[in-house]
Amino acid sequence: MNTFEQLADLEERLAATKKKLEHAALIGAYLQSLPSGEIALAARLLIGRVFSEGDPRILNVSGAAIERVVAQTIGTSELARVDGAVDFGDAVEKILRQAGHTRQGAPLTLDEVWHAYEELATLSGPGSRERKDARLRELFERASALEAKYIVKHLIREMRVGVNEGTLLDALARTTGIPGATIRRAYQFTGDVGKVAEAALVQGEQGLGHLEPTLGHPLKPMLAQSAVDIPDAFTQMPLGETALEYKLDGARVQIHKSGDAIRVFSRSLAELTYSLPEIVDEVRREIKARDAIVEGEVIALTPEGRPRPFQDIMRRIGRERDVAEMQREIPVKLYLFDCLYRDGELFIDRPNAARWQALTEVAGGIARVERRVPESVAEGQAFLKQAQDAGHEGVMAKLLASPYLPGERGKHWLKIKPIITLDLVIVAADWGYGRRTGWLSNVHLAARDSETNEWLEVGKTFKGFTDAEFKALTDRLLALKVKETRGTVWVKPQIVAEVAFNNVQTSPQYKSGVALRFARVVRLRDDKPPEETDTVETLKRLLGD
């Protein structure tokens, strides 16, 4: 019997060391000790992920619900303040220990806890709050204080143990002796550390070889780093060997065609098929292949055919009600920029130039993004101005020789916008005063530390929001609340904001060591998952720019 306490003990040992070799040894030994049916779920839980990427299920358990159930568990109406807690999970552990809490009944098994999470994700509708509270109370009553700590961390997705996808994949490579490149490739194709861990440990390298891209299962998107301007981009990429493309301000989509069956996925691997019926029809009609995986951008258009604001396309994305009405109100257009698969041929390892040629052959009457291979910096700058004049936000620079690297943010792709922005996560907000009384208005922005996987603050701002947006944001943040201290509401790190700023400076105030000057929110990026936001290392590279 594999208990949940074994996983919690492992997480504690992982959090106590920053040594990567020790992380790998601990993770490898633990996963090898599990029966094959539990490897996948344990691997996901180690990095704080209950369900695989692309799985539409969400736990939707608020911090307020956890506080309420913990209070019921220890028999009090409210929880006392806990000093010295580093996060919500740590606070719950301390509260339970102070109350003398001991588990009731048999120890929780790993499988039982996961199935409880699965059940929580299915509860909705009238009476769901009471049913969720009851199920949570069962978990906390049977959990030790340490187990409760990690149950909370899973529920709010705030692990803080220094283990991320990369750590786990490295542990698998060291444990099995399978080349790291092979393991990472399998992860790029599936986006599921659980599936990769199970295949590597049970079937070895041969099992990983079967994890190929599959029609109907989205790949993680390739990501880009930022360049300050066109000259900066061409210090990193050679002229004549780099394509520039319009950077459209829309929703990135990955489209899978299998005969007449069309499925559309977002950059976060969520399905959008039902909200974009005109795109589905166009792909079915125009794509010149029986089976294909293509990638592109969907933008909203004005009656004159110019791009509408990003917020307009977000009103279409993921919508399943009143779709026909929204089609009339917000017409959209698809632009393609990559071809990953066509009729049995996988193009991921092919250079960008070859993928563009394949896209040209397969796109039919569907528009492709405007593209040019400049021979001079001046030509590149002129192309950027052309993109801006057409209403777009900038250009992408793509190395012609580069393969497609799912889920990786390397230097093969660069994004160039006149105003540099970063994608950061809101981790807290302060209650406003004056005209903003009653609203959460000063948001705390955080970037992810790629070494520890922690969210580290890099600045605060109240700029960029209208009154209506402050009110709507307040409701969203309160639904994600995990604790409140002295006028600051701390929330689950789930809301992504695109943030403009003047420059980055060193900061002794923040653990990250860096801070944004004159930060302002450009927009919320509900199309982006927190895992795709910029890192502390990205900010450090921009120091002094």
Active site residues: 247
CA-based nearest residue to 89, from 188, 171, 11, 187: 11
Residues 6+ apart with CB under 8 A from 30: 6, 7, 10, 42
Structure tokens at 191: 């986006």
* Sequence-distant contacts of 309-314: CB under 8 A, at least 24 apart: 309/249, 310/249, 310/250, 310/523, 311/523, 313/250, 313/251, 314/251, 314/526, 314/527
Tell me, what DSSP letter sits at residue 477? H
Within 13 Å of residue 203, how many CA atoms lie on the same side as its CB?
A: 13
Residues 6+ apart with CB under 8 A from 21: 174
CA-based nearest residue to 85, from 153, 11, 6: 153
* Sheet of strand 242-247, all strands in order from the earlier edge strand to the far edge: 223-227, 409-416, 394-399, 242-247, 371-372
In this structure, the dihedral spanned by the alpha carbons of residues 429, 430, 432 and 436, taken in order and rounded to 10 degrees, is 0
From CA 258, how far away is CA 460, in angstroms rounded?
A: 46
Pairing assessment for the beta strands 496-500 and 421-431 based on DSSP bridges: antiparallel
Longest Cα–Cα distance of the chain, Å, equals 73
How far is residue 393 CA from its own chain's centroid?
22
Angle between helices 145-156 and 4-15 (to 10 degrees): 80
Question: Quick one: three-class SS letters along 312-362?
Answer: HHHHHCCCCCCHHHHHHHCCEEEEEEEEEEECCEECCCCCHHHHHHHHHHH
From CA 467, how far away is CA 43, in angstroms rounded?
A: 43
Question: Quick one: three-class SS letters along 23-79?
Answer: HHHHHHHHHHCCCHHHHHHHHHHHCCCCCCCCCCCCCCCCHHHHHHHHHHHHCCCCC
Quickly tell me which residue has 């029986």 as its tokens: 290
CA-based nearest residue to 332, from 356, 307, 351, 357: 307
Structure tokens at 425: 């996560």
In this structure, the dihedral spanned by the alpha carbons of residues 87, 93, 98 and 99, taken in order and rounded to 10 degrees, is 130
